[in-house]
Amino acid sequence: MDAGVLNLDTLLLVQICVTLLTTALLVASACYTQSPPEQRWWAVGNVAVSVGMTLGNFDSVPVFINSALSYGVIAFGLALVLRGLRVYCASSLSWTSIAIITAIAVLVAAYYSLGEPSLRARLCFSGFYFALLNWICAAAVARHGSWRVSGIAVAGFTLLGLALFLRGLHMVVDADPADDASSLVIGLSALVVPLAQVCIAFGLIQMVMWRYAERLRRLSTLDALTAALNRAGLEVQGKRMFLRAQRAQRSIAVIMIDVDNFKVINDSYGHPVGDEVLRHLARVVKVELRPHDVLARFGGEEFVLVLDGVDLASAVRVAERVRARIEQEAVSLDKLTVNYTASMGVVCSDQHDYDLIRLISAGDAAMYEAKRAGRNRVAAG
C-alpha cells in the first residue's frame, strides 16, 4: 500500500472527530439520574483523554503543556476508564493507583521534554505506556465478563493497544521521528485508532445494556420479597429441569410447602412480621438447594421446591429437615418474636411422570393431607 494514500492530516482529523463523537456518545449515555457509576467513570475518562489529545496537538503552547501535561491528562483519563471497568466487574481502582498511573506519564514525558529532550524517547514511551494501559483495560474486562457480552470492548482495547505499541516500536527504528509523513506504520495506526475507539465505545454501552437486560430478566422471574423464583420463573426453569431429567431418566421430586395459620400471623402481628416469616422460610429452604434445584414462591404463603435426581424417600427426608428447622427457629422483627410451622406435601416423578403441573397438583393434595392430619408434618403423595 502506498503511504501517500494514507494522508496523515486527513487521518488525524478523522481520529479527532471519532474521539469527540465516541466521547459524546458515552457522555450522553451517562447523563441520566440512574446511570450506573461505571458508565460515568467511562464518560469522564473519555473526556479527559479528549482534552489530553487536544493539548498534545497545540504546538503553540509551552512544551510542558504540549507533552508532559497532555500525556498526564490522557493517562488520567485511561485510569478513570480502568476504574469504571473494575467497578463494572465488582472491584475498584484506588485513587492512589490512579495518581501513580498519571504521575508516571507526567514525569517521564517531562524528563524527555525538559530534562533530556528526546522526541524519539518521548514518542516511544507514549506508544508503549498507553498501549499497556489499554491492554490492562482489555484484561480487566476479559477476566470478569462473558465474551459474548464484552468481546467487542476487549477487541477494541486490544486493537488500540496494538496500534499504539506498533507506533512506539516504529519510533525505535525510525531514522527521523519528526518526519513521519511518509510512514506506512504511522498512517495505518492513525487509521486503526478511530476504528478501535468505536469498538470500545459501543462495547462499553453493550456491556451496560446487557447488565440492564439481565436485571430486567431477574425482576421478571424473581419474587421481590423472598428472592425465590416467581411462577413465571418456575415455569421456565422447571421445564428445562424436567427435560434434562427425562432425557437422563433421573427422578424429580416436588415438595409443596405452606405456612400453617399464616392469616393468624398477619392478623396478630402485622404484615411486616408475616413478610419476615416468608423471607425466613425461603432462607431455610435455600440451605437445602443444590446448583440444579429450584425454589419458587407459588403464591401467598405457598412455596415449591423442585429437586433434581431425588427419589421420593430422599425428598421426604429433605422435607423433614426443613420442617424441623422451621419449627425450631424463631423469627424476630422489631422486638417481636414469632414461632411458626409449615406443612409439606412430597411427590415424585416415579409415581406421577415428568409433568410439572401434575406434580405440583399432586404435591398440593399431599400438603393439604398434612394440614388435615394436624399441620406441622410431611405427607407423601
Query: Any idea what the Cα angle at residue 21 is, between residues 164 and 166, rounded to 5°?
Result: 10
Residue where one domain finishes, among candidates 182, 217, 252: 217
Residue where one domain finishes, among candidates 217, 248, 267: 217
pLDDT confidence of residue 21: 80
Q: Are residues 212 and 259 in the same domain?
A: no
- 226 domain-assigned: no
Q: What DSSP state is assigned to residue 289?
A: -
Residue where one domain finishes, among candidates 192, 217, 242: 217
Q: Are residues 61 and 192 in the same domain?
A: yes
For residues 298 and 304, is the Cβ–Cβ distance under 8 A? Answer: yes
Strand 342-348 versus strand 378-380 pairing type: parallel
Residue 92's identity, in one-letter code, is S
- 182 domain-assigned: yes
Read off the C-alpha cell for 276.
Answer: 419476615
**Owning domain of residue 90:** 3-217
Q: Are residues 19 and 139 in the same domain?
A: yes
Integer Cα distance of 133 and 67 in angstroms: 18
Query: What predicted TM-score, i.e. pTM, was given to this entire model?
Result: 0.69
329 included as an active-site residue: no
pLDDT confidence of residue 183: 62
CATH number at 192 reads: 1.20.1070
Q: Are residues 134 and 197 in the same domain?
A: yes
Q: Which of 301, 320, 327, 329 is catalytic?
A: 301
- 223 domain-assigned: no
Q: Are residues 343 and 265 in the same domain?
A: yes
Query: What is the number of domains present in the chain?
Result: 2
For residues 232 and 339, is the Cβ–Cβ distance under 8 A? Answer: no
pLDDT confidence of residue 187: 67
Q: Are residues 45 and 71 in the same domain?
A: yes
Q: Which residues of the chain have pLDDT under 50?
A: 1-5, 175, 181-182
Q: Are residues 193 and 238 in the same domain?
A: no
- 222 domain-assigned: no
Phi, psi (rounded to 5 degrees) for 47: -65, -45
Nearest Cα to 262, choosing from 331, 348, 206, 194?
331
Q: Are residues 306 and 187 in the same domain?
A: no
CATH number at 355 reads: 3.30.70.270
- 80 domain-assigned: yes
Helix (H, G, I), strand (E, B) or coil at 343: strand
pLDDT confidence of residue 184: 64
Q: Are residues 131 and 257 in the same domain?
A: no
- 225 domain-assigned: no
Q: Are residues 80 and 206 in the same domain?
A: yes
Nearest Cα to 84, choosing from 30, 15, 123?
30
Q: Are residues 211 and 247 in the same domain?
A: no
- 77 domain-assigned: yes
- 290 domain-assigned: yes
**What pLDDT, in 10s, does the model give residues 355-370?**
899 999 999 999 999 9
Helices (H), 57-69: 63
Query: What is the number of residues in the chain?
Result: 381
Hunting for cell 465474551 — which residue is that?
Answer: 147
Q: Are residues 263 and 189 in the same domain?
A: no
